[in-house]
Amino acid sequence: MNVGKNLEKMFSLEDKVVVFTGAAGGIGSAIALGMACAGARIALCDINENLLSDIQNKITEAGGKASSYLLDVTNKAGVTECIDKIGKAYGQIDVLVNCAGINKREGFMDVREETYDRIMDINLKGVFLVTQAVAPLMKNQRKGSIINIGSHNTGSILGGCSVYGATKCGVLSLTRSMAVEWAKYNIRANCVSPGHIQTALTVPTWEHPERSKYLLERIALDRPGYPEDITGVCIMLASDASSYITGTEIRVDGGCIAGGQPWDYDTEF
């Protein structure tokens, strides 16, 4: 037995078609690039046309294959049309990565109804609508892998993130429902929950001496996470290496949930 060749094939994404929402974000773009480098053909979906073009160019320059689609995940008609286009263009959808999401940190009593609705619509309804559109094709194929991006907030409450946390707990629940309902079609569904990841949006936090110290004291590995830290887990879940993994949550948080100092919920870090 050629163990090396078998392992290489097991983790390969060669010619798998991956639909990716939120592909232009810091975490999303890193995962999409990594999957493309592993051989996948990526259908990049996002509402930001300029950033979408940037990640498509990066993938192409790295020798990968990608196409891009403007998509508002909260618009059911638009979602249906977009997924139909992708299905016709590629003839298959092997993997769906639901990565579109937003947050606005506010105290519970400060959240306006329109803010609540917007976060719920993108983070939770978006996952629901896109997955509903992709699932029929996966059922017909009798195979598929759905990867929903969750959050540290599914297991630990952070001050000022009440609505965001609720959406991510909802995503985890939807993931388990998908896994149970669609197992008979050989469709797997899993949730990847990142911890404190350093992206362009969080650089000010990590560069702030007191804030970064506060966070690092609560992360067992004593460092921030990076988008690339999420990539390997997602490649594994998209590949045949995870053929017996479904309905679970994989936390990529540097040991934050397992140890470190307790959280001070009055601290605005």
> Which tens digits make up the pLDDT trace of 45-55?
999 999 999 99
pTM attached to this predicted model: 0.93
Is 164 noted as a catalytic residue in this protein?
yes
3 state SS of 45: strand
Q: Tell me the C-alpha distance between 46 and 25, whole Å.
A: 9
Domains of the chain: which residue ranges?
Answer: 3-249
Element (H, E) at 33: helix 26-37
Say whether domain 3-249 belongs to CATH 3.40.50.720: yes
Q: Tell me, what's the pLDDT at 264? A: 62
| Active-site residue identified among 69, 90, 116, 164 | 164
Instruction: Using 50 as the pLDDT threshold, list the residues of the chain that sit under it.
Output: 1
Q: Tell me, what's the pLDDT at 1? A: 46
CA atoms within 13 A on the CB side of 59: 30
Which runs of E-coded beta strand occur in the chain?
17-21, 41-46, 65-70, 95-98, 144-149, 187-194, 249-252
> Which tens digits make up the pLDDT trace of 46-81?
999 999 999 999 999 999 999 999 999 999 999 999
